[in-house]
Amino acid sequence: MSDEVLQLRSVSHRFGSVDVIDDVSLDVNHGEFVAIVGPSGCGKTTILNLMSGHDAPTRGSIERRAGSRMVYQNDGLFPWRTAGENIMLGLRHVLDPQERDRQRRDLLALIGLDGFADHYPHQLSGGMRQRVELARALAANTELLLMDEPFSALDYITRLRMRHELARMLAQRPHTVVLVTHDMGEAAQLADRIIVLTDRPARIRREYRIDLPRPRDLTHPAVVRATHDILAEMGLEGCGANGNPPGSEGLREDSGWTGVAAAPQTSDGGRLR
Amino acid sequence: MAVPVSARPYMKVLPLLFPLAAVAVWAVCSHNRVFPPGSVPSPMEVAQGFREELVRGRLGDDLVASLFRVFTGFTIAVLAGLPLGLSMGLQLRLRDALLPTVNFFRNLSPLAWIPFAILWFGIGDVPAIFLIFMTTFFPVIVATAAAVTSIPKVYFRVADDHGLKGAELLWQVTLPAIMPQLITTLRVTAGLSWVVVVAAEMIAGRDGLGFLIWDARNALRPDLLVVGMIVIGLIGVAMDRVVMQLTRIPSVRWGYEK
């Protein structure tokens, strides 16, 4: 269970004279769901691009032991292809046409869009489009899914629905996932581990772990607390003496929620334990 | 399902109301001799001229001659301009090198080429085809290059993720991504060519609708002049309708409905 799919060793990256990522080390294990959160423009997407091999890091090393697929934040679907044809793009590696057709049908069923194979993206709602995008990424059957704020363009209700959809799809087709998001609730609802980044240049500010089965409710006490703690960590929410929201004292034992100090630079890292 | 607006019966009649009213006003004015003598032919005279031209068979020949020139010049311009525009859209260096020159010629009225067209190619099909080429070649290049430049980067990322390269990338990503803009460009440039062919044939032609106009002027036949104008206008509208059919292709609809 603890074999690493992805290993980042002291990775730093700069664009021109701008340091974007500073000394990030991170292991992603097989089957894990890791969320990376941080202020916008802090280099979250850059980390994904490094993980996918699209960019090479300026310093440090990245080892990837599985194929990966990227799920993009805006419409990465080709608008000139129907939903079915877009999914077909992800099935290019399947050489037998009948098998490809069967897998396409399975994927459409998985995302609950059985009757929509011949619809073009502009004829689908934002949530449906994002589900097709997910199906296309799942089609490749790579172990690693890299998701770049996949739900950020959706409205709030749809976004909440998509989190459950994603959890359901992953239950049926397990993957190792790295999700980049600026939505703490999303991270807390979905991830096994949450990496909080600092402002640019991005370092790992803190790491949290949530040992609860998915799908989790947004209002599950552990999710609420994790959200609160991450927001407090980033200075976005006021915190009490020990960083816990009022009335959460009794949750600590059975909430499955543990904060882990990740790097020595967080001197106050122990306050959650 | 609601009936589309364009399919409602009155929509077929509505566009005809204004032309019919204009002809009626024209007929009344002619009948009452509102226009100075010899300046504006009456609708009846024009109808007579129309029949005369049809019987002689010249109108059909002129129409075919003009359409052939436009089709040939336009096709050559698109076949040459499209690849060049694609290359310029994909390669920054090439665009920087060529765009000012292309813009120079694009802004130069094609009619300025008429003297050279006659000098080099004489009278007939070739000078007209050359002028239509000069009219459409440069706008097609600029529009194609601009369309390629505006393709969202994410499409190329997705293509790269799925291993689309070379010819596959061109046919499955680059071309479909610019298709809606390309069709709009074709509409505009097809219209331009139709405008230019008339001018070209007036000066460098022995037949064609432009020559028909010029011949009517020389023969002091204003009725035939109007016949020519009506046919040119109607064919222009028909050509636009034909090119517009391209926007009905399902895989380009995304460019027109958002």
Tens digit of each residue's pLDDT (9 = 90 or more) over B153-197: 999 999 998 889 999 999 999 999 999 999 999 999 999 999 999
Rounded CA separation A79/B180 (Å)? 11
A74, A89, A122: residue with CB nearest B162: A89
Within an 8 Å CB–CB cutoff, is residue B241 touching chain A? no
- Contact criterion met (CB < 8 Å) for B157 and A76: yes
- Contact criterion met (CB < 8 Å) for A75 and B258: no
- Contact criterion met (CB < 8 Å) for B155 and A78: yes
Within an 8 Å CB–CB cutoff, is residue A69 touching chain B? yes
Burial class (CB in 10 A: 0-12, 13-18, 19+), A60: middle
Residue-wise burial string across A153-189, b where 16 or more C-beta atoms lie within 10 A, e elsewhere: ebeeebbbebbbbbbebbeeeebbbbbbbbbbbbbbb
Within an 8 Å CB–CB cutoff, is residue B155 touching chain A? yes
Residue B7 has pLDDT above 80, yes or no: no
Sign of the dihedral through C-alpha B53, B56, B60, B64: negative
- Contact criterion met (CB < 8 Å) for A79 and B158: no
Quick check: A65 and A21 in contact, CB under 8 A? no
pLDDT of the residue at A258: 60
Beta-carbon-side half-sphere exposure of residue A241 (alpha carbons within 13 Å): 2
Cis ω for the linkage preceding A201 (within 30 of 0): yes
Nearest CA in chain B to A90: B162
- Contact criterion met (CB < 8 Å) for B176 and A80: yes
Tally C-beta pairs within 8 A across A and B.
46
pLDDT of the residue at A211: 86
Q: What is the ipTM of this complex?
A: 0.81
**Of A194, A231, A228, nearest to A211 (Cα)?**
A194
- Contact criterion met (CB < 8 Å) for B157 and A121: no
Within an 8 Å CB–CB cutoff, is residue B158 touching chain A? yes
User: Looking at beta carbons, which residues of chain B come within 8 Å of A89?
Assistant: 158, 162
B152, B160, B254: residue with CB nearest A80: B254
| Average model confidence (pLDDT) across chain B | 91
Nearest CA in chain A to B180: A80
pLDDT per residue as tens digits for the range A50-101: 898 888 888 888 888 888 899 987 688 999 999 999 999 999 888 899 999 9
User: Looking at beta carbons, which residues of chain B come within 8 Å of A129?
Assistant: none
Nearest CA in chain A to B168: A89
Within an 8 Å CB–CB cutoff, is residue B140 touching chain A? no
How much is the pTM?
Answer: 0.82
pLDDT of the residue at A40: 75
pLDDT per residue as tens digits for the range A213-247: 888 888 888 888 888 888 888 878 775 444 455 44
Within an 8 Å CB–CB cutoff, is residue B116 touching chain A? no
A72, A92, A121: residue with CB nearest B154: A72
User: Looking at beta carbons, which residues of chain B come within 8 Å of A54?
Assistant: 157, 160
Strand-pair partners of A11: A24
User: Looking at beta carbons, which residues of chain A come within 8 Å of B258?
Assistant: 122
Nearest CA in chain A to B252: A80
A-interface mutation test, from B150, B151, B162, most A Cβ less than 10 A away: B162
Quick check: B238 and B246 in contact, CB under 8 A? no
Within an 8 Å CB–CB cutoff, is residue A150 touching chain B? no
Residues B73-93, mean pLDDT to the nearest whole number:
95
Residue A256 has pLDDT above 60, yes or no: no
Chain A nearest C-alpha distance from B255 (Å): 9
Rounded CA separation A234/A248 (Å)? 20
